[in-house]
Structure 1
Amino acid sequence: MATSTNLFEQIALDLQVHGVSIQSLDLNEPALLTLTERLAHLSQQDFYKAGIGRQEEHMKNSQIRRDKIHWLDTNNAQEALFLSYMQDLKIYLNRRLFLGLFSYECHFAHYEPGAFYKKHLDAFKGETNRILSTVLYLNPDWQSSDGGELALYDPNDHSKVLQIVTPNFGTLVTFLSDEFPHEVLPAKKARYSIAGWFRVNTSVGGHIDPPQ
């Protein structure tokens, strides 16, 4: 497996050329292993039903998505280690690609058997500050027959599947938020991941967005 610097460089190259990157973290990477430990200590009461949209537009629609989530923050040492790792990636991508990334937010996503997330974009051009989306999978011994794949669609033809990603442990997917429609296909057993977004700063008139 590549070191984090080599991994970050490969992600940068992929994004520059293709707009999407699918890589595997070193399975001994502490930031990855600590997420497994953290997940083992979370109960189902620590997860809540995910919604759609932000703030006053936030709503829940089980016809679109049926995952449950738990947001990460720096108050927990295990979560903080992963957030620090992604901070390093942010710094690298800013230096390498001049993206102006300002902050990163993410949550655990739990898909129960049969749960899904219909095709969607994480951002719409000119309407949000999400620039890059990331998904890190936390499913040891996942089999192709277990389902739960991530389907990435062609930016120029939203009916054409560009890539199918099996949610294997340690797989990290990074893509342009406003370019790639994607969906989570139903799985036959519990499926876990970290879904996250790098944002730019769109603060105006003292209103901080994204919040720090």
Structure 2
Amino acid sequence: MQQLSVLNSWNIDDILDDLNLYGFALIDDAYPLDYLHAVAGECIENLQRFRDAAIQNGVVSKIRSDHILWINDQLPIAHQHILTLEQFSQQLNRAFFLGIKDVEAHFACYNAGEFYALHRDNPQQKNDRVISVVFYLHPDWQDDWGGELRLQDKHGNWHIIAPKTNRIALFQSDLLHEVLLAKQQRLSITAWLRNNNPILN
């Protein structure tokens, strides 16, 4: 698949300003619709391969009930999103000296009744996750379908972020957040930009 080139359509200055001021930012209409449809199709075609995210090393977690599939170059359409995030990481490194070195990502499916309770992606900086990125893939979303991202910004204020189709939400991985109960199937790619350095403060 041809390399995507979307960064010139993103308002990078606004994204960096919002990350600096609040610890999170939104990108609406992130990708061309043909790419959105292609990556959503790849996600749906592979749903039978998803595993229960609540089960890790045989232990069942009670804070989440979603299903995931890790992305590699064997999922070439989704992998284009990872390559885009690698390019975007260079902008973050220049702006904030974050030293981001790699990107990890998985598809996520929240079926009706599924959720992810309050947590941090980098609790007490115990892993290398610096920035978390959620890209919403589902073809449509209505306000009463739930599945919102509830996020506490760096000043302690809470925000409800709707999982709008073709939206990217990105935020500091140490911020407290949750995914509210979904009432319809909610599809996304969750990614983490990783380094070995302290994150924004």
Same fold, TM-score > 0.5, yes or no: yes
Structure 1 residue 52: Cα displacement: 7.4
Residues 71 and 107 in structure 2, CA contact (< 8 A), matched pair in contact too? yes
Match of 2:12 in 1: 8
Structure 2 SS opposite 1:73:
coil
Structure 1 runs of 4+ with >6 Å offset: none
1:197 to 184, 192, 199: 192
What do the CA deviations read for 1:43-91 (whole angstroms, capped 9, x no partner)?
32x10011478xx7x8431x21000000111233212211111111112
Alpha carbons of structure 1 residues 8 and 154: separation in structure 2 relative to 1, 3 Å: closer
Q: Size of the alignment, in residue pairs?
A: 191
Q: Tell me by how many angstroms 1:126 deviates.
A: 3.7
Higher relative contact order (CA 8 A, sep 6+): 2
Would the aligned equivalents of 1:140 and 1:168 in 2 still touch at CA under 8 Å? Answer: no
Q: CA deviation at 1:41?
A: 1.8
**What pairs with 1:49-198 in structure 2 (closer than 5 Å)?**
49-51=52-54, 59-61=59-61, 63-155=62-154, 157=156, 162-178=158-174, 180-198=175-193
- Deviation per residue, 1:148-170 (Å, 9 max, x gap): 1111124455xx6x110111111
Query: Are the equivalent residues in 1 in contact too, given 2:54–2:63 (CA < 8 A)?
Result: no
The percentage of aligned residue pairs carrying the same residue is 32
Contact 1:136 1:193 in 2 (8 A): yes
**Structural RMSD (CA):** 2.2
Residue segments in structure 2 that go unaligned for 5+ positions in a row: 1-5
> Does the 8 Å CA contact 1:32/1:82 hold for their aligned counterparts?
no
Q: TM-score, normalised by structure 2?
A: 0.85
| Gaps in structure 1 of 5+ consecutive residues | 203-212
Distance change >3 Å, CA 83–CA 27, structure 1 → 2? closer
Q: TM-score, normalised by structure 1?
A: 0.81
Q: Distance in 1 between matches of 2:83 and 2:74?
A: 12
Name the counterpart of 1:208.
none
Q: Give yes or no for the alignment of 1:47 onto 2:50.
A: yes
Offset at 1:23? Answer: 1.7
* Residue aligning to 2:3: none
Describe the SS at the equivalent of 2:123.
Answer: coil
CA separation of 1:122 and 1:32: change in aligned 2, threshold 3 A:
same
